[in-house]
Copies of this chain bind each other. A is one copy, B any other.
Amino acid sequence: MNKILVAQGGGPTAVINQSLVGVVLEARRHKGIDRVYGARHGVRGIVNEDFVDLTQETSHNLELVAATPSSALGSTRDKPDAAYCHKMFQVLKAHGIGHFFNIGGNDSSDVVRIVAQEARDAGYPLRCIHIPKTIDNDLVLNDHTPGFPSAARFVAQAFAGANLDNASLPGVYLGVVMGRHAGFLTAAAALGKKFADDGPHLIYLPERDFDIDRFLADVDAVYKRHGRCVIAVSEGIHAPDGTPMIAKLAQDLERDAHGNVQLSGTGALADLLCEEIKAKLGIKRVRGDTFGYLQRSFVGCVSDVDQREAREVGEKAVQFAMWGDQDGSVAIQRAGHYAADYALLPLEAVAGKTRTMEDAFIADSGTDVTDAFRLYLRPLLGSGMPDAYRLRPAPVAKVLNR
């Protein structure tokens, strides 16, 4: 019996189940495959032999699961070392798995690389394929990664709304966006902007060093010009020496509430920056939101382009494995304005490496994106992006004029 195993790793996305279902449905078409197993909670489910038989699932329910966000098999934050990977390999061998598909980001691709090496060393016939997924968009040699476009759409729509809210009740609004090392998702805030005076007026990315004095001067200048200011901030902003700003701010302000807590999954960075603005610039109405888990798990905000591509990387993974008989990492490549194509890259070329935003995508000011980035991201957001309209000014002459 030829069996394949599929697993999902890392943070959930809006479309990761598309890739899962892409693997399952495509695998069912191949005569060489008898069983499709899924590992519960990623690599941990592999070492624990916690498998479900996806061959018994209806194609109808699979399609409904595909359209459901988050990881239907469950995920894990385990980061396997060599010993962990060795155990995984032993389980794969014991179950007679012939093909292993792992859907995830950097860490997941590295696991695939190590397990593939184990199999080669043991002379066991195992095809290992990494299927890309990450809202951070930080896999090298990929035009972009499934999950990023939908999260980017959420961020763009959120800032489009925050801008309208801020225009209605002027003040300073600051939104903190996920992405520890890569600023792509934060930069997506720029796609929420329509009119020239719309926010976000300032965007702070982890690709540029953060300086609190320059930040305050930037905010002050925008506030004086527009009477309001909308700011997108990456959770990964850091001082020139690499210290995360949240740690630095908490320390500088001699505050202990956030000194020893995790750096993300809290509202601390937004709160600390807002307090700085209030204290130093004397602006009263300052509000900060941390987008948190909403940006990766919100049900009902998804890019149809992302859905299609996430499905296809799953399908292509099976095709590469069955017809190409190769290990590797599936990657999306841009093939037009806009079209996508797929390649199988060597695992060593992708595994464990981190892409950050290219300089060509960041404006010289360091607080905005370029048109090259807008051109890059816009088609990925998909169809039906909401648009914002405003009343045209037709002022009425004053009578009392007091």
* A contacts, CB < 8 Å to B: 8, 11-12, 37-38, 41, 49, 51-54, 56-57, 61, 64-65, 67-77, 90-91, 94-95, 157-158, 160-162, 164-165, 167-169, 173, 192, 253, 255-258, 261, 265-268, 270-271, 274-275, 287-294, 296-301, 385-396, 398-402
Contact = CB atoms under 8 A, between A and B. Distances in A.
B266 A270 contact: yes
Contact of A61 (B90, B161, B392): B392
A69 to B, nearest CB: 6
Contact of A391 (B37, B57, B267): B57
A388 B68 contact: yes
Nearest to A278: B261
Contact of A274 (B266, B296, B395): B266
A interface: dominant SS: loop
Contacts of A74: 167-169
A173 to B, nearest CB: 7
A283 to B, nearest CB: 13
Contacts of A11: 169
A157 B297 CA distance: 9
A70 B164 contact: yes
A161 B257 contact: no
Contacts of A394: 52-54, 56-57
15 contacts: A49-B399, A51-B396, A52-B391, A56-B394, A57-B392, A65-B389, A94-B399, A95-B396, A161-B298, A162-B294, A165-B293, A255-B255, A255-B257, A299-B388, A300-B301
Given A165-B70, A168-B70, A299 B54 contact: no
Contacts of A301: 300-301
Instruction: Choose among A67, A296, A400 the residue with the greatest number of B CB atoms under 10 Å from its CB.
Output: A400
